[in-house]
A and B are shown apart, each in its own frame.
Chain A
Amino acid sequence: MMASSYNAKEEDGNHPGAANHAGAGIVKSKKPDNTAFKQQRLPAWQPILTAGTVLPAFFVIGLIFIPIGIGLYVTSNNIKEFEIDYTGANIEDPCYNCAKNFSWNSTAQCFCTVPFTLVQPFESNVFMYYGLSNFYQNHRRYVKSRDDSQLNGDRSALMSPSKECEPYRTSEGTPIAPCGAIANSLFNDTLQLYHIDSNGTFNEIPLVKKGIAWWTDKHVKFRNPGGNNNLTVAFQGTSKPVNWREPVFKLDPEDPENNGFINEDFIVWMRTAALPTFRKLYRIIQKKSSSTPTLPSGKYVLNITYNYPVLSFDGRKRMILSTISWMGGKNPFLGIAYITVGSICFFLGVVLLIIHHKYDTRNNSADIPN
């Protein structure tokens, strides 16, 4: 055996070109490399999930999650929130008439007033939201019905909006700016808040309308065509969305910097909500002094310019006042979920401890004779 293999090797040396004729070289050494990778022997960490190794993890998760959950829950509970429905679906509601008599054609605006009482004072900054229910902002036809290039100030897109905007693309031959269903259905109720002090006088609460949209949206994603000077000229040749009362460059009569596509109410509306029941930031009530609460407890009145019909699709409109904390708005879910998961982990840890004691020892003792 040895001799023959030795001979064979000698042969290779004698006839180096012997196999070259065959087209494919056969004689070259086929011995595989002895590398760790090729031999599948790379050094490796080999963890296994046993009751013993998982146990500490469960306890640690439990011990971390439960305090976090409690913290979240307490924070969420400290947040004050007030919500009022002003749809006017029922006959006793103050806005019933406005809701009932709504028509797209009427030029006269309908006003209604909803009184309410805050039991507790709202410290720190208060955020004012409007909420809509049963409004499918996430409907596919609705979500895509916009033209981001137009909103970004692109002149050609302004004059010929994207086809996605159909059927809100043109109005009597002229392009709509901003086009699309989302823009067309811009929420246009006006809300005003009055505090009734002990004398019975109505004090209008100043509502800040700046800083409610994402900074990047306002400054990068949304731009007016041709800069912010002379929007009337910039939007010449376009028509307003059919359901709007005013063209886009007259959205905010008070602040010329807040008009056109960079109107913050408009930007907020253009960020389509994830679910059919949603709320959107409307105004911020800033804290004036550290001594007095932003909204002291007492009677308030909400003045509504009722422009937005929701009853036709069985929707609801709400006004929400809320303070916020480090973790955002009121959301007990996260805290409760953390506490629950933490407790489950802790409980499982205990169960596993028992199992570990009972079975692993038995297994180990059974293994040893093998």
Chain B
Amino acid sequence: MDFTQLRNIISRYCVGEEIWVDSRTVYIGHKEPPPGAEAYIPQRYPDNRIVSSKYTFWNFIPKNLFEQFRRIANFYFLVIFLVQLIIDTPTSPVTSGLPLFFVITVTAIKQGYEDWLRHKADCSINKCPVDVVQQGKVVRTQSHKLRVGDIVVVREDETFPCDLILLSSSRYDGTCYVTTASLDGESSHKTYYAVQDTLAFRTEQEVDTLHATIECEQPQPDLYKFVGRINIYKDKEEPVARPLGAENLLLRGATLKNTQHIYAVAVYTGMETKMALNYQSKSQKRSAVEKSMNAFLIVYLFILISKAVINTVLKYAFQWSPDRDEPWYNHRTEIERQRHVVIRAFTDFLAFMVLFNYIIPVSMYVTVEMQKFLGSYFITWDEEMFDEELGEGAQVNTSDLNEELGQVEYVFTDKTGTLTENNMEFIECCVDGNVYIPHAICNGQILSAASSIDMIDSSPGGYRREHEDLFFRALCLCHTVQVKEEETVESIKRGIHQGRPTSFYISSSPDEVALVEGMKRLGYTYLRLKDNYMEILNKDDEIERFELLHVLNFDSVRRRMSVIVKSSSGEYLLFCKGADSSIFPRVVSGKVEQVKARVELNAVEGLRTLCVAYRRLSESDYQEACLHLNEAKLALQDREQRLAQAYDIIERDFVLLGATAVEDRLQEKAADTIESLHKAGMKVWVLTGDKMETAAATCYASKLFRRTTQILELTKKRTEEQSLHDVLFELNRTVLRQRSISGLSVDCLDFGLIIDGATLSAVLKANQEGAGCGNYREIFLDICRNCSAVLCCRMAPLQKAQIVKLIKASKEHPITLAVGDGANDVSMILEAHVGIGIMGKEGRQAARNSDYAIPKFKHLKKMLLVHGHFYYIRIAELVQYFFYKNVCFIFPQFLYQFFCGFSQQPLYDTAYLTLYNISFTSLPILLYSLVEQHVTMDTLKRDPSLYRDIAKNSLLRWPVFLYWTCLGLFDAVIFFFGAYFLFDNTTFTSNGQLMTTNTQMMFGNWTFGTLVFTVLVFTVTLKLALDTHHWTWINHFVIWGSLLFYVIFSLLWGGIIWPFLNYQRMYYVFMQMLSSGPAWLSIILLITVSLLPDVIKKVLCRALCPTAIERAQSSRPCLTVEPSTIFMLSQSSSRMSF
């Protein structure tokens, strides 16, 4: 960092002020600038080849292997494999090499296939034909041959091949329409502008005469930001410099609409386009399950090491006498004998490690990944989460967090577009306290008696008349709405019949459309923007024309937008509309009190309010404003900041005109969803940029706050009266008192907290200053913990993320989920453990950055309560079961060491060691983890409180883990000693032997191992069968099929002399075992005994202290369906405000 800064400074001194290292100069049409202007520095840029693939044919194997072995588990197995290769180990390297090879190969094939698809896609994109202007002619080339500086012709409905600066279009005003649907999902048309000096070029020849350079910043991933400047050279004059902004930059991936063709020059190509820069993957989120899995893994690693150490120590204790070490029948080789004892001990330790290494299952990672990958398809396949209107279902952007959906404790939701539909309807406006309601809507809106009701027909006096005219004109002019007059338009925001042709208003903000339409119903129709003149049809059917001089765009920090227009009478007017908090401080006159009262009243009813103000500019004022604006716009660096400063200077001394109210209806079933989430034990926080009253009303409507909820306010209004300190402490006291008093009826009284952005930053800032002024953060968190619902209003986007971070870092480390639909929610979505994007009207930014995207807020319910719940119990069982089955597998081997002189003799045959995790026991658990449903989906949806059962990672806590491990140990002991007593005759009673009836032959150590292994495979598979609550035909097939496979494999494995093996120890062992009656009897007995404790535990737990889930399971048949009434109730109540 420092280095680049230093380089920056040096280069500035060397080259001069004007050239920045972090900017680039593009020579349009590759023409050198006139001599003397600037040094022509030919720069090298990448060509327009898009490379989204990760590997090439040559580097695939090394690169992929390297990446795979960076994972700790794979590396561990590689080390084990290498140890096996180097030292003399009990098991052949095949036993760990083969599974590792299998895992690596499967992953490599998957990644290779994905990369091959990417190569193919890249190739087809790179081969796309593109028209380029060269020497005044249009030449067709391939997309990847495009270079920076090329002039490109793009025709209607074509996609831009790279990032382009618009030079001219077939439209006379130099604009073009673009849809960025494939880029960010916004299907609305956006207007892009050509620079004034170039928009006149109509033909290739004309364009080719252009002599200009473009200076712009180096590529940045932000889609909505661009800073640059074009220098146009005309006949040895001083070059004309024009600013370039995001409105001039056509992005790769966007599509040209409603414009015949455009000429544009390439500035960013290939991997430097904004789209390509946005390919970069987001930071990885890890789920709680994964964390506990890693913790368990460490425990098992510790167990593994201690097992190896214990055995090594015991081995040397056992071998103390030389007759034990080297009896006459079993001598060492000479080389071994000469080895130093320390080296021998170390080799022994490693050998024990190798022998027991299967306790950490290599296949667990693969299975977990496959489970996540395949399991996530059920979310996308879910028909209930498909939205007909949008034509889309749920999307899974990462499958790593499936199970986290079942662990959510805090839900942070945005209000507009998430809880509400973001489908705006103009309700009323008020000018100086007089209320106007469009005729069309008379839906029983009750107005308070205090305010006068004036319909538009009544003719008020002169002063009022003037304000009224200004107000309506302000609303007609102060917006960025476009009019579509064509019959066919790609996306329709709203259709209005306007006599002859159908025209639509299109805007990125639905509020604006609602306002302009509302004005139309009140008699003022915005017609179009033509040649920088805005045309309005006023209510006397006259067309008024205003010259649009400047648009001071909306941004979420300022929370207002303005236009500067010149009326036909030559008057300069600045109209501004914005949130009340951003307008009122800047107002100098007007009926502030009345308007404020009305705004508050509307806000309480849950309407979105905007205030409108204006300012008359004198000629000199206007010139000054122009100066400020142009200066800021031309700046290459800090343009944003400079613009903000300029806006701040211009937008002041307003005269208040009035206010508008727009209704944003609640999304369907929003209240029902919130109620379910509450019942499921989640705390729902609403984070919104809206004002407190509006937000609170929405909260009541959506049942976030109930009538019984005691509201605690932590707002600026209160902190102005008392100090923050006092307020916090007082609230804390209230909460604590209530908790101690109502020991019995905790549920009856719940608290709701309302906090605003200013207070929140005060709370957080106080903490930063030091602990001296009290640890507010802790107190604040304490209050929040006791509130079932929290409303944070007046939040800046970054503050939303801050809140999430604050909760995430609190001492319980709860799992947080953020759901939102707009660009302002992205930071919060990225911050939370699980980010959910709603495919809303405000574009797809949230959906693109989220982990999961859903069409509507109501789908959250199924996502969490059903899918989340299922995925959690599935993966929890998967993890526990994997550890369990490997304890069962390896512990008998550990016990066997005590009976074979600690010689690292494996109990099982190599084939069994290798295939146990790969094939004998892998499929049933994988299938279980994909299709298990411990209760039905309907039950889960009907009874949200079942979600509480799995809260706090309850199935992966240490006691549960301990239970599974103990069960594994118990089973292992049963397997081993069961077989031991059958084989041994001295320990139990004086006599006893195992023989077969037909051959009367003796069994050796491999038969012993096979007996243990057979019992093991059956027990472990049947244990899973006991845990399965949902037996589909696939479950039957896989469970019985894998047992059958084991038997068939064993018969085959022992059935012939395998020519490629250098040992034949398993020959006929399995068949000999099966031909013996006692072996059958003991297999049945041992399986029964091993399964017994788990069955008893299950039955007793269910009978004595059943969990909610177990209750739901047992009451399954006798419940009838009755959710429709609840659902209807919540529907009807969501319409009412209070």
Contacts and interface: CB of A to CB of B under 8 A. Distances in A.
**Do A and B interact with each other, yes or no?**
yes
A48 B1029 contact: yes
Q: Looking at B181, B488, B991, B1031, which has the most chain A CB atoms within 10 Å of its CB?
A: B991
A231 interface: no
Interface in B975-1021: 978, 980-986, 988-997, 999-1005, 1007-1009
Interface string A193-213: 000000000000000000011
Contact of A139 (B181, B330, B1034): B330
Contacts of A30: 386, 391-393
A221 B1066 CA distance: 11
A136 B900 contact: yes
Contacts of B1063: 144, 146, 148
B507 interface: no
A46 B1102 contact: no
Contact of A44 (B994, B1030, B1081): B1030
Contact of A271 (B121, B323, B378, B1004): B1004
Interface stretch (A105-113, A115-123, A295-303, A330-338): A330-338
Interface residues of A, number: 122
Interface in A115-173: 127, 129, 133, 135-149, 152, 162, 164, 166-168
B993 A338 contact: no
A137 B900 CA distance: 8
Contacts of A355: 1100, 1103-1104
Nearest to B930: A40
Contact of B1067 (A50, A164, A216, A273): A216
B157 interface: yes
Contacts of B1100: 355
Interface stretch (B188-196, B468-476, B1071-1079): B1071-1079
A225 to B, nearest CB: 16
B449 interface: no
A313 to B, nearest CB: 4
A291 interface: no
B255 A22 contact: yes
Contacts of B933: 40, 44
A76 B1077 CA distance: 13
Interface string B1104-1138: 10100011011110000000000000000000000
A230 interface: no
Contact of A326 (B491, B989, B997): B997
A276 B900 contact: yes
B507 to A, nearest CB: 15
A11 B488 contact: yes
A360 interface: yes
Interface in B1012-1040: 1026, 1029-1035
Contacts of B391: 8, 29-31
A252 interface: no
Contact of A331 (B182, B993, B1026): B993
A3 interface: yes
Contacts of A341: 1085, 1088-1089, 1092
Interface string A244-277: 0000000000000000000000001001111111
Given A30-B392, A32-B380, A328-B994, A313 B327 contact: yes
Given A23-B159, A312-B328, A331-B1078, A47 B1085 contact: no
Interface in B885-905: 899-901, 903-905
Contacts, number: 325
A338 B1002 contact: no
Nearest to A337: B1085
Nearest to A147: B1062
B1034 A281 contact: no
A277 B1076 contact: no
Contact of A45 (B388, B993, B1031): B1031
Nearest to A328: B995
B983 A5 contact: no
A165 to B, nearest CB: 10
B1029 A47 contact: yes
Contact of B381 (A38, A140, A332): A38
Interface in B1067-1101: 1067-1068, 1072, 1076-1078, 1081-1082, 1085, 1088-1089, 1092, 1095-1096, 1098-1100
Nearest to A268: B1002
Nearest to A163: B333
A92 interface: no
Nearest to A29: B391
Contacts of B781: none
Q: Looking at B90, B255, B1001, which has the most chain A CB atoms within 10 Å of its CB?
A: B1001
Interface in B367-411: 377-378, 380-383, 386, 388-389, 391-393
Contacts of A49: 1026, 1095, 1098-1099, 1102
A139 B905 contact: yes
A147 B490 CA distance: 79
A224 interface: no
B206 to A, nearest CB: 27
Contacts of A7: 492, 495
A294 to B, nearest CB: 14
A172 B382 CA distance: 77
Say which size band chain B's interface belongs to.
35 or more
A325 to B, nearest CB: 8
Contacts of B905: 138-140, 143
A48 B328 contact: no
B903 A140 contact: yes
Given A328-B1078, A352-B1099, A138 B1005 contact: yes
B707 interface: no
A63 interface: no
A39 interface: yes
A34 interface: yes
Contact of A61 (B870, B931, B1088): B1088
A68 interface: yes
Given A272-B1005, A279-B1002, A47 B992 contact: no
A236 interface: no
Q: Looking at A5, A44, A54, A337, which has the most chain B CB atoms within 10 Å of its CB?
A: A44
Contact of A348 (B1026, B1057, B1096): B1096
A334 B1085 contact: yes
Contacts of A51: 1099, 1102-1103
A46 B1116 contact: yes
A328 B1075 CA distance: 11
Contacts of A352: 1099, 1103
Contacts of B1035: 44
B319 to A, nearest CB: 11
Q: Looking at A31, A34, A61, which has the most chain B CB atoms within 10 Å of its CB?
A: A31
A322 B1030 contact: no
A341 to B, nearest CB: 6
Nearest to B423: A1
Nearest to A277: B986
Interface string A9-32: 001001101110111101001111
Interface of B: 90, 121, 124-125, 157-159, 181-182, 253, 255, 323-324, 327-334, 377-378, 380-383, 386, 388-389, 391-393, 488, 490-492, 494-495, 870, 899-901, 903-906, 931, 933, 936-937, 978, 980-986, 988-997, 999-1005, 1007-1009, 1026, 1029-1035, 1057, 1062-1065, 1067-1068, 1072, 1076-1078, 1081-1082, 1085, 1088-1089, 1092, 1095-1096, 1098-1100, 1102-1104, 1106, 1110-1111, 1113-1116
14 contacts: A3-B495, A14-B488, A15-B490, A38-B377, A38-B378, A51-B1102, A133-B986, A216-B1068, A275-B980, A275-B984, A281-B1001, A328-B994, A341-B1089, A345-B1088
Given A42-B1033, A332-B989, 9 more contacts: A22-B253, A30-B386, A38-B381, A40-B931, A135-B327, A139-B905, A220-B1067, A329-B993, A360-B1103
The 7 closest A-B pairs by CB, nearest first: A185-B329, A328-B995, A274-B1008, A329-B993, A22-B182, A38-B381, A140-B903
